[in-house]
Amino acid sequence: MPTLEQAYTPFFHQLCDAAGQIVVKYFRQDIPVDDKQDKSPVTQADREIEQVLRGMINKAFPDHGIIGEEFGRENEHAEFVWCLDPIDGTKSFITGRPMFGTIIGLLREGKPVMGAVDQAVTKERWLGVTNQSATCNGKPARVAPPRKLESSKLYVGSLDMFRGEDIWNYLRLCHAAKLTQYACDVYAYGLLAIGWCDVVVEKRLKIHDVAGVIPIVTGAGGVAWDWQSQALAEKNLIADYDGKFIAASSQPLAEECAVLLTTQNPSRDNPFEREQT
């Protein structure tokens, strides 16, 4: 009986190859950009990739479900469900910045079990099995040695993700890290898995944003939590996911971030302003 990895790895590569061919066809080309209902951008590349991948999945595994960013959900209560984000980081894609990637996740009974991230322009591909293994271009991927937040390299989502009460904790988190990079897309999680950054924090994510990332991060030895320090690999993401995400190279580092992100700040002090006074 083949393992999950043995059974699905070849198909993951087929899906990534198909997506990559479309990505390179449209990258840095003058293509129309439409606005979705939530005002986020979408291109012909996003739609075409998801249509092709859906067709491949339906042909190979007709009893599986699919959750995709562009075309919604079908058979989502199946034992196996594929989660597709054809271009995570469309804003990066349409501005010519190769921080985007295709995310493909496989859920079993709602829990993430395998995932892939493909960056066709830089020719980098990550594949992970939850809590077991991860590779980048076929070589073992491993997170960086444990560091405290004050010594860490942090990627965070854009400021717009954290509007509202969370903005103050966002500012404290950015200030607490040694080096902070802003407006990350899926590429940041790939960098985390191979040790080039230590922690990634985002909010307002959807299941298709994280289902393929969690197996890579945990397979590389990292942790993937929500802001309440619950391991997302153990959760039924279809039934229960609030869009908050901490991916870190170690549990203590994730805990530091979770505390900062969930501690109330009645005074609403801005740590950057405080340092200047």
Partners of 247 in beta bridges: 200, 224
Name residues whose C-beta falls within 8 Å of residue 57's C-beta, 6 or more positions apart in sequence.
15, 64, 66, 82
Partners of 112 in beta bridges: 107
Partners of 115 in beta bridges: 105, 128
Residue 10: name the closest of 54, 60, 52, 67 by CA.
60
Specify whether the CB–CB gap between 137 and 124 falls below 8 A. yes
The full 3-state SS of 201-239, as one line of letters, equals EECCCCHHHHCCHHHHHHHCCCEEECCCCCEHHHCCCCC
For residues 179 and 218, what is the distance between their CA atoms, to the nearest angstrom?
Answer: 23
Specify whether the CB–CB gap between 216 and 209 falls below 8 A. no
For residues 108 and 113, what is the distance between their CA atoms, to the nearest angstrom?
Answer: 6
DSSP 132-155: TEEEETTEE--PPPP--GGG-EEE
pTM given for the model: 0.94
Residue 233: name the closest of 252, 214, 246, 208 by CA.
214
Render each residue's pLDDT in the chain as its tens digit; 277 residues: 778 888 999 999 999 999 999 999 999 998 888 887 776 788 899 999 999 999 999 999 999 999 999 999 999 999 999 999 999 999 999 999 999 999 999 999 999 999 999 999 999 999 999 999 999 999 999 999 999 999 999 999 887 777 776 788 889 999 999 999 987 899 999 999 999 999 999 999 999 999 999 999 999 999 999 999 999 999 999 999 999 999 999 999 999 999 999 987 655 565 555 444 3
